[in-house]
Amino acid sequence: MGFTPCCLTRTDVKPDQGDIYLLLWVDNHDDAYAWACRRTCLINQVSGAIQIIDVKEVQATTEKLSSPQATPTVPGRFIEISDQDLMALGIPEILLPAIRQVVSDTDVEAILPHLPPEASDALLMLGAGYELAEVKKQLDKTKSTQPIDTQDFAAALGRDDTLGQFMLLTEDDALQQMLAAPLEKWRVFLHPSQRKLINRNWNGPIRVLGGAGTGKTVVAMHRARWLAEECFTEPTDRILFTTFTRNLAEDIKLNLRSICSSETLQRIEVINLDRWVVQFFKQEEMEIKIPYSNDLESLWEQAYTVAPMELGLFLNFYQDEWQNVVLKYGCQSLKDYLQARRTGQGKRLSRPQKQKVWEVFEEYRSLLREKGYWEADEAMQKAAQLIQNQGSDLLPYRAVIVDEAQDMSQSAFQLIRAIAGAEHENDLFIVGDAHQRIYGKTITLSQCQINIVGRSRKLRLNYRTTDEIRQWSAAILRDTTVDDLDGGQDSLADYRSLLHGENPIVQGFGSQQEEFQAIGDRLANFQSQNQPLSSICLVFRTHKILDTYQQYLKSKDFKTKVIEADKADNNQQADHVRLATMHRVKGLQFDYIFLPSLNYNILPLQSVVEKCADESNQNRFIQGEKCLLYVAATRAKKQVFASYFGKASDLIQ
């Protein structure tokens, strides 16, 4: 908030009674008066929250929705909901006439910018077809409302919905500390719907869903801090904060420093789950190595030499069956495999065929052990067994926070359940979004002894991207069914952004050289406008394509920085444009995202599509490719530039 040196004016409210002062706005003199002339500050007579309303904008929106051209020929969408119920959900009385005119999603979006934060989720849910009772339950509005004194600002300041917008300060020192806080602390803010998830005791595991940019990781970080400072406060108590990849863990560590004291940080352990497992076995005096796909190809090829040719099964069938059946269900013996469910695997196998298939898995597992390898899921299953045998009391963790839950396997959640111990108050806090699943591991929490019944919540407002980017990205996943991590389905129908900007730009080129030139020209233009290159990231489907573009950019004297697996991007190299694969950019954000080489043979990656064992596996892979593109595009805060040369990917048609 940089102001030029001139007279600043504050806009505030001094109620008629009591000693409360509300500081609403600080700006240059004329701008502050203009801000105040348009707005009123009042107490909602039903919800009791203090609300700031732009009266002129509300009047303009109401007139627009009520105009003859916009007059609905069908009843308003919320006609059956009483004024009392709408106001109890946080909708100001002045907006009720506009609410009564709503008949379409476009109308909902027109009203959203004028709503107080606590009312936005309610309107999105009602607009998406949720029943009023479910909306009240999800937003914790089930208590009967008490009579409200609309002049009692002191009482209103104590209500949760008010505290989502106002900070109550009783001492000058607290105000000075707040104003002196670094910018990083102001970035990690909380919406009222987020705050309600964090600052409370839950009597068991809670699952929080939310589309890209809704602040799931921010919520998880604040939850870790709250647990460490308010619930589990003994010096030996630890909070485990785990996520899927190493670079995400490093970024979370970096961001936690912005909101936690050094004492609190010492009791929050942030680590990706694979690394935690390796460290756990090391403490148990067992050295294991978790390999990755490149390390395993030669072992699979060796194991495939014992495959019975009469079955006519290709290598990729065995690899898929291993991941989705053997590892998923922890099959340690032929008996386990014969009893395992193969739902969704496509090709049917008789009992004799499964016996022959198991021979390949035995050979593969033997080759793994010769090298000291344990695949991640195997290692997690073994660790969970050891913890259950020894008792989780031997571990220091009082609670576990799980970020990027959609990419965790069933084995991962069985381990997480073991680490947290038997279900208890505030034990598990799980955030995720299956629309962003890029590692293809569908799970059902209840099958991992994680009961979230009555403790499922959702975040619906995107704070990162513009609504134009949200719409373009969501369209990639149209006609795609997505789960809710517990056997149900999730939807983006109630997911919106309050920010607006330019539509994503999609360009096609005749050759890669033409695409090179266009991207180089655009980067040069950003430089000429003093836009820091660190705010720009070029995102690619494969490392090979990334390397090609990096060589080109270097030839044009652009400085580049590749986002690596185990390092946080601390933004110190402001003059370096960032490069990342679609997998590696997950969890990060930039002002501008470039998506080059979205060619038909690159996305979906044709070399993998051709190796899929059957149509079921192929469809699963293509859905994962859609999620990859969705994830990459939603890293952008201001603009997306998508491009291809030759024939375009079907995913951007």
Is pLDDT of 6 > 50? no
- How much of the chain exceeds pLDDT 90, in percent? 54
Give pLDDT tens digits for 235-247.
Answer: 999 999 999 888 8
pLDDT (mean) for 266-294: 91
Q: Are residues 478 and 510 in the same domain?
A: no
Same-domain check for residues 366 and 395:
no
Is the confidence at residue 18, as pLDDT, over 90?
no
pLDDT of the residue at 273 = 94
Q: Name the pLDDT band for 106 (thresholds 50, 70, 90).
A: confident
Percent of residues, the chain, with pLDDT higher than 70:
91
In a domain, 176, yes or no: no
Domain with residue 610: its CATH number is: 3.40.50.300
If asked whether residues 572 and 481 sit together in one domain, one would say: no
DSSP per-residue letters across 156-220: HTTSHHHHTT-----SHHHHHHHHHS-HHHHHS---HHHHHHHSS--SS-EEEEE-TTS-HHHHH
Q: Within this chain, do residues 339 and 416 fall inside the same structural domain, yes or no?
A: no
Stretch 529-557: mean pLDDT: 95
Clarify whether residues 509 and 618 are in a common domain. Answer: yes
- Give the angle 203-206-211 at the CA atoms, nearest 5°: 160
pLDDT (0 to 100) of residue 560: 95
Ranking 156-160, 179-183, 548-552 by mean pLDDT, the lowest is 179-183
51 pLDDT higher than 80:
yes
For residue 5, name the pLDDT band (cuts at 50, 70, 90): very low
What token pair was written down for 504? 């994503």
Instruction: Provide the pLDDT for residue 336.
Output: 94
Same domain for 400 and 449: yes
pLDDT of 102 reads: 87
Q: Is 285 left (phi over 0), alpha (psi -120 to 50) or beta?
A: left
Counted domains in the chain: 4
Residue 485's pLDDT is: 95
* In-domain check, residue 533: yes
Evaluate if residue 457 carries a pLDDT over 90: yes
Neighbours of 421 (CB within 10 A): 18
Query: What whole-number distance in Å separates Cα of residue 522 and Cα of residue 411?
Result: 45
pLDDT score of 27: 78
* Mean pLDDT score of the chain: 88
Please name which of 290, 197, 241 lies closest in space to residue 420, comparing C-alpha atoms.
Answer: 241
Parent domain of 576? 504-652
Q: Residue 571: its pLDDT value, please? A: 63
pLDDT at position 282 is: 92
Domain contains 189: no
Average pLDDT of the residues in 472-483: 91
In this predicted structure, what is the pLDDT of residue 7? Answer: 55
Contact 510, 476 (CB under 8 A): no
Cβ-proximal residues to 521 (8 Å cutoff; 6+ apart), any chain: none
Residue 87 pLDDT: 92
- Return d(Cα 7, Cα 28) in angstroms, integer: 6
Question: Over the range 153-184, which residues count as b (16 or more CB within 10 Å of their CB) and which as e?
Answer: beebbebbbbbbbbeeeeeeeeeeeeeeeeee
Tens digits of residue pLDDT in 327-384: 988 899 999 999 998 877 777 899 999 999 999 999 999 999 999 899 999 999 999 9
What pLDDT sits at residue 3? 35
Q: How confident is the model at residue 22 (pLDDT cuts 50, 70, 90)?
A: confident
In-domain check, residue 185: no
Which residue carries 């279900």 as its tokens?
Answer: 423
**What pLDDT, on a 0 to 100 scale, did the predictor assign at position 186?**
45
**Structure token pair of residue 445:** 């929490």
Comparing 44-48, 158-162, 318-322, 361-365, the range with the smallest average pLDDT is: 158-162
92 and 132 together in one domain: yes
Q: How confident is the model at residue 183 (pLDDT cuts 50, 70, 90)?
A: very low
If asked whether residues 48 and 121 sit together in one domain, one would say yes
Same domain flag for 246 and 352? no
User: Quick one: pLDDT band at residue 17, thresholds 50, 70, 90?
Assistant: low
Model confidence at 439, in pLDDT bands (50, 70, 90)?
A: confident
Could you say which of 340, 373, 406 is where a domain stops? 373
The stretches of 485-542 forming alpha helices (DSSP H) are: 512-528
Contact between residue 535 and residue 592 where contact means Cβ atoms under 8 Å apart: yes
Q: What is the pLDDT of residue 63?
A: 85
pLDDT of residue 394: 83
> What mean pLDDT is predicted for residues 166-179?
61
Residue 268 inside a domain? The answer is yes
Q: Which tops the pLDDT comparison, 279 or 142?
A: 279
Q: Which one of 373, 400, 415 terminates a domain?
A: 373
Q: Supply the pLDDT for residue 299.
A: 94
127 occurs within a structural domain: yes
Listed range (209-213, 244-248, 445-449) with the worst mean pLDDT:
244-248
Question: What gap in Å lies between CA 537 and CA 587, rounded to an integer?
Answer: 13
Work out the pLDDT band at 627, boundaries 50, 70, 90.
very high
Please check whether residue 519 lies inside any domain of the structure. yes
Mean pLDDT of all residues in 25-40:
83
User: Tell me, what's the pLDDT at 195?
Assistant: 81
Report residue 185's pLDDT band, with 50, 70 and 90 as the boundaries. Answer: low
Instruction: Flag whether pLDDT at 190 surpasses 80.
Output: no
Query: Which pLDDT does position 278 carry in this prediction?
Result: 93
618 inside domain: yes
Q: What is the pTM of this model?
A: 0.83
Tens of pLDDT, residues 408-428: 999 999 999 999 999 999 999
Model confidence at 619, in pLDDT bands (50, 70, 90)? confident
Report the greatest alpha carbon distance in the chain: 89
CA 247 to chain centre: 15
- 602 pLDDT band (50/70/90 cuts)? very high
**Residues 273, 349: one domain?**
no
Domain boundary (113, 147, 163) is at 163
Task: For residues 422-446, give the mean pLDDT.
Answer: 93
Contact 594, 579 (CB under 8 A): no
Q: Is the pLDDT of residue 431 over 90?
A: yes
Asked whether residue 67 falls in the same domain as residue 90, the answer is: yes
19 and 100 in a single domain? The answer is yes
